[in-house]
């Protein structure tokens, strides 16, 4: 039978089949290789390349992590820096520091050298104690800390029955500063716990619940009263992989264990500053520039590579100490004049290049002398005495003054940028040039605020309080009526606001960034493409580190000879080294040159006083410190022009622009405000470096206001915006707007007191306010003293 009904018999059981028939369904080993790897030619394509690339990336990451771990915990790594910071003033740090040092030194005397080598834990460490109340010292210690150990004491808070006593105001202020700088690895050590286990556990649990929100999630809490507890903490610390802020890995730096000064024979005012310590993060070339924190940028005269005075191997250290009492110099590096980075701070402008259209101060002074000479030598008619000649109007003088006014129309400089007396009070506050009423006789040279200028030494406490009250009132008025300015009665508006212009659209209207630049722009440096330059500079720094003849490796114990340091500054460092670390960091290429830096900045929550634009602040940018007078502007993302802000308002980010040495992002910023030599500075603002761009356009905006006198639908007569008809004709092309949303323009003046006819795009309300927006480009103030420790 055929078809679909064919009978199929069941196969025999496997036990009745032969060996060959039982293995028919199996695949041979050769065929298995062929099926798993079908075509080697296909595997050599994109997939194989991708697999190989991923494998190489995994190996490189693994090698980098292993290298970093060996660099931080190996025998050639520099000693780890442990900074003890008390969260409140009642915490005793002296006993804790002694306990940790005794544990590391195994009971031996370790006062000979700051670093301690422990053969038991197989690590080297330097234990620093942050002085409570000294903000600058705490900041400098936090910048170099490998482990930031916060110390809390729950006993005092329990007695006061207040959980806030764990952290006092200074402790919370420092915590916010440390977060802005970037926290390294952190732990919390709890001291003064009771011996009762139940009570001890309750206090530790309460301390952890209160402080957990103030620290990162991976922060561990350790009791630190007994030797066994500290022993456990040190073993965990030895095995821990430490993390540091990313900006510290960009540059090499040295925390000086010893500071000396060597006087120069040829120059008594200059000397050589000698810093001795361990090099960290990166290798340092003798041809590099270094920045000594607080003093400025300098060149190196030489670097001496010294034998390590604190090795992990105790036998080598003992032989070394027995053989020689002085530190042995293993190698000395001298700079190559052809390769050494030049110390260039300011640009020397070419007077024949024609870049600067504005005359220099010397040229202006010479023109004033020539003009005064011409006025003295003018001829008088016969029979006219000098007294009678004083009543005769000289046409040449009038023409000369008119030409001055015509030239003044194109100025973009601020009032204080022309070498004239600043509108500044003795206590450091300044009046806004738009809020000051000007004299009719000379609108550009003197103001009414100059008449109230007093020396800071002559001010009484009542006068200082009065000036602070005025600044606070101006801050409140700026928040309520931003940018509104009253037109002065004693001078024409076309003269007072000659530097301002109307802008059709703030967002889309063109503004030339190279137009009418101030004299300070001839002294700064700019880049065609800053991001590309930064990439090349970082690549060059890595290549420079590979040169063995000119560079000392990481972890070396070295002595830096910093040349051409002022003798007074060097003596200050010798005194400061007793209370705070002296830091020297290597600079990348171009980082000593001046330019315009922009920072994203926010007012600190604990600082209540107003911060006015162009007010003197101390900027801590990474390891560097410099004095600046910033201007603030709005943080507009996709805009070519940015609006200036007269005050740094709380609760929002702004952009602070300053003249300062070039730095490559990203770097943290801490802005301090000094309140006198005796008082400690306060943290005014925090932020980070954003860009280096001299072409960023910051426009100062003023609003002139007027009020409707007569209204007829879309037409109106407006008064009190100007006070004479010539000003109305001068500002006729500028567009008007109202607070209720109308747009309009000026048609013609009315009468002799500055009233004007206007037409709008809708019906104008009687209670509405007519406004006119004017703009001018503004620039930061050039600092008179760039670094805080320099002599003024």
Residue with token string 């046409």: 395
Burial (CB count <10 Å: 0-12, 13-18, 19+), residue 665: middle
DSSP reduced 3-state for 217: coil
Higher pLDDT pick, 78 / 368: 78
Rg (CA), the chain: 36
**10 Å Cβ neighbour count for 49?**
10
Q: What is the pLDDT averaged over residues 661-676?
A: 89
Residue with token string 């952190």: 186
pLDDT of residue 104 exceeding 90: no
Question: 630-636 long-range CB contacts below 8 Å, 24 or more apart?
Answer: 630/599, 630/601, 630/656, 630/657, 630/658, 630/780, 631/656, 631/657, 631/698, 631/778, 631/779, 631/780, 631/781, 632/601, 632/656, 632/657, 633/657, 633/698, 635/600
pLDDT of residue 418 exceeding 60: no
- Tens-place pLDDT, residues 286-344: 999 999 998 999 999 999 999 888 887 755 444 444 444 467 888 899 998 888 889 98
pLDDT of residue 74 exceeding 70: no
Characterize 89-125 residue by residue with b for buried, 16 or more Cβ atoms within 10 angstroms of its Cβ, and e for exposed.
eebebeebbebbeebbeeeeebeeebbbbbeebebbb
d(CA 419, CA 323): 64
Take residue 483 and report the two structure tokens written for it. Answer: 């940018």
Residue 385 gets the label, from left (phi > 0), alpha (psi -120 to 50) or beta, of beta
Helix (H) or strand (E) holding 621: strand 617-621
pLDDT of residue 63 exceeding 60: yes
What pLDDT does residue 263 have? 83
Contact by Cβ (8 Å): 776, 500: yes
d(CA 721, CA 739): 15
What is the percentage of the chain residues whose pLDDT exceeds 90? 30
Q: What is the pLDDT averaged over residues 19-42?
A: 62
**10 Å Cβ neighbour count for 21?**
12
Q: How far is residue 650 from each of residues 172, 232, 475, 603, 611, measured CA to CA in Å?
A: 18, 45, 11, 5, 10
The angle formed by the CA atoms of residues 559, 565 and 568, to the nearest 5 degrees, is 115
- Tens-place pLDDT, residues 111-164: 446 888 888 888 888 999 999 888 999 999 999 999 999 998 876 554 444 445
What pLDDT does residue 163 have? 47
What pLDDT does residue 406 have? 37
d(CA 584, CA 625): 12
Higher pLDDT pick, 560 / 157: 560
Helix (H) or strand (E) holding 637: none
**10 Å Cβ neighbour count for 50?**
10
Characterize 504-532 residue by residue with b for buried, 16 or more Cβ atoms within 10 angstroms of its Cβ, and e for exposed.
eebeeeeeeeeebbbbbbbbbbeeeebee
* DSSP state for residue 612 in the 8-state scheme: B
When pLDDT is cut at 50, 70 and 90, the band that residue 431 belongs to is: very low
Contact by Cβ (8 Å): 445, 420: yes
Contact by Cβ (8 Å): 186, 148: yes
Q: How far is residue 233 from each of residues 204, 222, 228, 240, measured CA to CA in Å?
A: 16, 7, 9, 10
Cα 254 → chain centroid: 21
What pLDDT does residue 316 have? 45
Helix (H) or strand (E) holding 258: strand 253-263
Take residue 53 and report the two structure tokens written for it. Answer: 């690339």
Mean pLDDT value across the chain: 79
- Tens-place pLDDT, residues 671-719: 999 877 767 889 999 999 999 999 999 999 999 989 998 999 899 999 9
Q: What is the CB-side half-sphere exposure of residue 328 using CA atoms within 13 A?
A: 11
Q: What is the pLDDT averaged over residues 721-743?
A: 92
d(CA 176, CA 606): 10
- Tens-place pLDDT, residues 167-217: 888 999 999 999 999 999 999 998 888 888 888 888 888 888 888 888 888
- Tens-place pLDDT, residues 627-655: 999 999 998 877 889 999 998 988 889 99
pLDDT of residue 469 exceeding 70: no
**10 Å Cβ neighbour count for 766?**
10
Q: Identify the structural domains of the chain with CATH numbers, from first to last.
A: 80-244 (3.40.50.300), 253-310+329-345+535-585 (2.40.30), 699-777 (2.40.10.190)
Q: How far is residue 362 from each of residues 277, 348, 365, 417, measured CA to CA in Å?
A: 48, 16, 5, 14
What pLDDT does residue 141 have? 93
How far separated are the first and last CA of the chain, in Å rounded?
119
Sequence-distant (≥ 6) Cβ neighbours of residue 745 within 8 angstroms: 732, 735, 736, 758, 759
What are residue 262's DSSP bridge partners?
A: 272
DSSP reduced 3-state for 656: strand
Kindly report the three-state secondary structure assignment for every residue of 432-477.
CCCCCCECCCCCCCCEHHHHHCCCCCCCCHHHHHHHHHHHHHHHHH
Helix (H) or strand (E) holding 557: strand 557-566
Higher pLDDT pick, 367 / 494: 494
Q: What is the pLDDT averaged over residues 380-394?
A: 54
Burial (CB count <10 Å: 0-12, 13-18, 19+), residue 176: middle
- Tens-place pLDDT, residues 432-446: 555 443 333 333 333
d(CA 516, CA 532): 28
pLDDT of residue 257 exceeding 60: yes
pLDDT of residue 402 exceeding 60: no
Indicate the range of 43-47, 480-484, 763-767 predicted with least confidence. 43-47
């Amino acid at each position: 039978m055929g078809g679909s009904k064919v009978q199929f018999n069941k196969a025999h059981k496997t036990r009745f089949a032969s060996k060959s028939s039982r293995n028919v369904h199996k695949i041979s080993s050769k065929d298995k290789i062929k099926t798993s790897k079908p075509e080697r030619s296909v595997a050599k394509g994109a997939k194989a390349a991708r697999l190989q690339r991923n494998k190489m990336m995994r190996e490189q990451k693994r090698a980098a992590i292993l290298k970093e771990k060996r660099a931080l915990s190996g025998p050639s790594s520099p000693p780890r820096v442990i900074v003890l910071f008390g969260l409140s003033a009642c915490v005793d740090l002296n006993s804790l520091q002694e306990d940790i040092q005794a544990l590391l030194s195994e009971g031996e005397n370790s006062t000979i050298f700051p670093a301690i080598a422990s053969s038991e834990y197989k690590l080297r460490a330097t234990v620093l104690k942050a002085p409570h109340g000294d903000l600058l010292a705490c900041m400098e210690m936090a910048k170099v800390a490998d482990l930031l150990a916060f110390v809390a004491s729950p006993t005092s808070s329990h007695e006061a029955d207040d959980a806030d006593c764990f952290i006092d105001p200074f402790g919370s202020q420092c915590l916010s500063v440390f977060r802005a700088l970037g926290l390294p690895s952190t732990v919390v050590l709890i001291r003064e716990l009771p011996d009762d286990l139940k009570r001890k556990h309750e206090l530790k649990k309460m301390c952890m619940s209160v402080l957990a929100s103030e620290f990162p999630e991976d922060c561990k809490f350790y009791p630190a009263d007994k030797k066994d507890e500290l022993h456990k903490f040190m073993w965990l610390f030895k095995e821990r992989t430490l993390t540091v802020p990313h900006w510290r890995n960009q540059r090499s730096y040295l925390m000086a264990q010893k500071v000396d000064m060597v006087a120069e024979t040829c120059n008594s005012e200059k000397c050589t500053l000698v810093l001795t310590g361990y090099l960290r993060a990166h290798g340092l070339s003798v041809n590099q520039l270094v920045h000594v924190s607080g003093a400025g940028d300098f060149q190196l005269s030489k670097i001496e590579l010294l034998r390590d005075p604190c090795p992990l191997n105790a036998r080598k250290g003992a032989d070394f100490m027995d053989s020689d009492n002085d530190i042995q110099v293993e190698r000395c590096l001298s700079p190559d004049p052809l390769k050494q980075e030049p110390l260039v701070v300011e640009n020397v402008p070419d007077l024949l290049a024609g870049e600067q259209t504005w005359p220099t101060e010397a040229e202006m002074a010479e023109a004033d002398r020539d003009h005064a000479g011409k006025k003295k030598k003018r001829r008088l008619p016969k029979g006219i005495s000098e007294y009678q000649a004083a009543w005769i109007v000289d046409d040449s003088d009038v023409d000369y003054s008119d030409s001055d006014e015509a030239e003044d129309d194109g100025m973009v400089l601020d009032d204080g940028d022309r070498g004239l007396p600043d509108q500044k009070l003795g206590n450091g506050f300044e009046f806004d040039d738009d809020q000051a009423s000007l004299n009719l006789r000379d609108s550009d040279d003197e103001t009414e605020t100059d008449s109230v200028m007093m020396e800071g030494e002559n001010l009484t406490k009542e006068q200082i309080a009065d000036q602070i009250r005025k600044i606070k009132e101006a801050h409140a008025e700026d928040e309520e009526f931003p940018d509104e300015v009253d037109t002065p009665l004693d001078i024409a508006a076309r003269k007072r606001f000659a530097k301002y212009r109307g802008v059709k659209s703030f967002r889309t209207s063109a503004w030339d960034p190279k137009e009418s630049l101030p004299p300070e722009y001839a002294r700064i440096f700019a880049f065609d493409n800053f991001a590309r330059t930064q990439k090349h500079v970082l690549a060059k720094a890595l290549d420079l580190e590979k040169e063995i003849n000119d560079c000392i490796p990481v972890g070396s114990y070295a002595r830096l000879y910093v040349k051409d340091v002022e003798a007074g500054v060097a003596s200050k460092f010798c005194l400061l080294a007793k209370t705070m670390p002296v830091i020297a960091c290597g600079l990348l290429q171009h980082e000593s040159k001046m330019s315009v830096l922009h920072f994203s900045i926010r007012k600190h929550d604990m600082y209540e006083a107003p911060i006015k634009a162009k007010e003197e602040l101390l900027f801590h940018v990474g390891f560097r410190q410099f004095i600046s007078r910033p201007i603030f502007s709005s943080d507009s993302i996709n805009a070519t022009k940015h609006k200036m802000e007269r005050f740094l308002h709380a609760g929002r980010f702004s952009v602070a622009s300053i003249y300062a040495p070039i730095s490559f992002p990203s770097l943290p910023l801490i802005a301090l405000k000094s309140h006198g030599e005796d008082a400690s500075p306060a943290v005014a603002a925090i932020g980070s470096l954003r860009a280096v761009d001299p072409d960023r356009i910051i426009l100062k905006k003023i609003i002139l206001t007027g009020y409707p006198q007569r209204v007829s639908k879309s037409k109106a007569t407006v008064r009190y915006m100007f006070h004479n008809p010539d000003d109305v004709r001068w500002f006729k092309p500028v567009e008007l707007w109202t607070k209720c949303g109308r747009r309009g323009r000026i048609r013609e003046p009315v009468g002799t007191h500055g009233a004007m006819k206007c037409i709008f795009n809708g019906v104008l309300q009687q209670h509405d306010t007519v406004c006119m927006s004017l703009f001018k480009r503004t620039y930061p103030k050039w600092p008179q003293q760039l670094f805080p420790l320099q002599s003024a």
